[in-house]
Amino acid sequence: MKSARLPGLRSLRLALGAVRERTGATGAELYVKVGNTRRIEIDPWMATVTADPDDLQTQVSVLDERGWALRAGGASRALFLADSGPLPEPNGWRRLNRHSLRPGILRLPAARSGTAQSPATDTGEHSPDEEEAAGLAFLHDLLRRLGERIPEARLVRGRLDSGASAAVLASTTGVTARSGRRLATVELDFAASRDGRHGHCRLYRAASNLHLLRADSIASEIAERLRLATAAAPPFLPAGEVAVSPALGCNLLALLAPLLRGRDGWRRLQQLGAGHPLGPPQLQIVDDGGLDAGWMSAAFDDEGVPTRAVALVRDGEPGEPLLSWEDDGWSGFSAAGCRRRSGWRALPELCHSHLYIAGAPEPAESIRSGIVHGCYLLDRAHDGRCHATFEPSTNGGAGQLEEGRFEVDAIGLVIRRGTVLGEAPRVRLTGSLRQLLQGIRAIGDDLRFLPAPGAVGAPTLLLTGLQVEAVG
């Protein structure tokens, strides 16, 4: 079966005309999306990594998705309607009438110069057999390589998704846009027991293509994390420097995301600095919807507004806020295309696409080897704490943290003058959000992106002034 094709812009315009005529709406927008996904899941049978591939209980799904969403209305009445399947023909909107619009507001972006059609991207229909065989081969290869490193590891759950989607958008304000995306993600959950100590490890990785996921490097990452998670706790933890890997750096940056979007985030970010620089001069935090080779890269967001790189923190100082078109011109700042939909059923919402701390020229290896007495934290402990509080909570809030503080449970190593003194199966990194940014002493050159909502990227960071304590 071939994947569904997107309708042409002419079909969308005819449908918009029919909707306006039937409902009396002053404005309307149609968004149509098609996609296909191949999913391979390995059942939770605690398979040993050394098991025969034929013994793995693999479940394969081939999914075709297709749907559309209509927004119609004006200053006082509005409607959001989403449905699966193909876009109705112009005479297929008979169930809509003037009573379909209910009290509410509809605002749509206006067409701008530069809003042109992006080239259509096909949904990447590959031979299902080839894609499936490649996925299975990847999982088997990964298990084999992990078995070579840590034979006692057991696969708790594995899921590999590989797919493509394409969308087209048109509105009565003249905005039109097309976009296409390919993405492969792998979610793996492993457990191991060593010397009576149990440990887990969960990994979520993404690439723009299944063939770009590297079984060998992922197996290395899992083995490293399982070894740390099943290690004995160190007798003491040094309270000096903390170097964090790109994986943990991404988690820390994701915690800060509410500070880095919208008008409220901008106010909080400025309060965080309290008149002082937010971080060292080499600190640059950027959100870029059109990042070259990024997984989410698109010339336009899901409302058809052009994307661009927004320097949220520039040279350690607040740069500019991430604003949607509705806030264009607020405090003299320009908007960027930053409203995305999580699917055809969802309304567009302000969110990051590629949020990252730009890498600096310092080699990451020199940061790690330069730790005098401290910790190198590799990743968050998947069943541990990871949250931040931005305002006073009246009823507990997230984890009952004091305002403006964060805490993250992590796994890592204790290091003295470049030598590993011991392993830390679980430590809690805590501190103020201000200190988290202002305490950055070095930024590495190994920027890496991980999937969060969107993509979050960070290089190795050297942090000071934070508290590290053993947990459990």
Partner 1 sequence: MRSTANRAGPRPLLTSDVAAPADALSRLAAHGDQQFEVFFERLETVELLPQGAPNRLRVRKEQGLGVRRIENGRSRLAAADTISGPAFAACCDRVAGTARSIGTAPPRIRTGSWPALRLAELQRAESRLARAVNRRRVGFPMEITARRHRRQVQVIRSPIAAPPQFEEYFSLQVTTPWSVWGGLLPSLADEDLDPVALCLVDRLRSRGLPLHRRAPGVIVLGPNAAAVLLHEVVAHALEADTLGLSGVPDHVVGLKLGGPELDVVDDPRSAPLACKRSSDDEGTAVISRWLLRRGRVRQPLADLAWAERCPSMIPGAARRASRHRLPGPRTTHLELLPGTIPERDLFAEAVGGLYIGEFDRGNLDPLDGRCVLRAPCGRRIGASGPVDHTGPIEIRSRAVDLLAAVTAVADRPLAGGAGWCAKDGALMPVWARCPSIRLEGLQVAD
Q: Does 133 bind partner 1 (CB under 8 A)?
A: no
Sign of CA dihedral 97, 100, 103, 104: negative
Selected range binding partner 1 among 65-73, 139-147, 419-427, 443-451, rule: CB under 8 A: 65-73
Query: Residue 405, interface with partner 1 (CB under 8 A)?
Result: no
Q: What tokens does 137 get?
A: 């081969």
- Yes or no: say if 249 and 285 are a contact pair by the CB < 8 Å rule: no
CA 217 to the chain's CA centroid:
20
How far apart, in whole angstroms, are the C-alpha atoms of residue 442 and residue 124? 41
The binder of partner 1 chosen from 21, 383, 391, 403 (CB under 8 A): 383
Residues 238, 414, 231, CA angle at the centre, nearest 5°?
125
Task: Considering the complex, state which of residue 113 and residue 395 has its C-beta at the smaller distance from partner 1.
Answer: 395
Nearer to partner 1, 156 or 233 (CB): 156
Binding mask 177-216 for partner 1 (x = CB under 8 A): --------------x------x-x----------------
Q: What is the spatial distance between Cα 390 and Cα 105, in angstroms, rounded to a whole number? A: 30
Cα(402)–Cα(432) distance, rounded to whole angstroms? 9
Using rule CB under 8 A, residue 64 touches partner 1: yes
Task: Using CB under 8 A, count the residues that bind partner 1.
Answer: 47
Amino acid at residue number 360: A
CB 36, min distance to partner 1, A = 10
The yes or no reply on residue 394 touching partner 1 (CB under 8 A) is yes
Window of 99-107, 370-378, 443-451, 457-465 that interacts with partner 1 by CB under 8 A: 99-107
Which phi and psi angles does 220 have, rounded to 5°? -60, -45
Interacting span for partner 1 (CB under 8 A) from 61-69, 142-150, 287-295, 297-305? 61-69
Closer by beta carbon to partner 1, 114 or else 392: 392
- Measured distance CA(5)–CA(178) in Å, rounded: 13
Name residues whose C-beta falls within 8 Å of residue 239's C-beta, 6 or more positions apart in sequence.
467, 468
Asked whether position 20 contacts partner 1 by CB under 8 A, the answer is no
Q: How far apart are CA 370 and CA 229, in angstroms?
A: 24
Is 41 near partner 1 (CB under 8 A)?
Answer: yes
For position 323 contacting partner 1 by CB under 8 A, the verdict is no
Q: Is residue 408 within 8 Å of 389, Cβ to Cβ?
A: no
Binding flag, residue 120, partner 1 (CB under 8 A):
no
The DSSP code sequence of 235-269 is S----SEEEE-HHHHHHHHHHHGGGGSHHHHHHHH
Q: Which residue among 5, 8, 21, 61 contacts partner 1 (CB under 8 A)?
A: 61
Name the site residues for partner 1 (rule: CB under 8 A).
Answer: 1, 37, 41, 43-46, 57-67, 71, 73, 78-86, 102-107, 128, 156, 191, 198, 200, 345, 347, 383, 394-396, 400
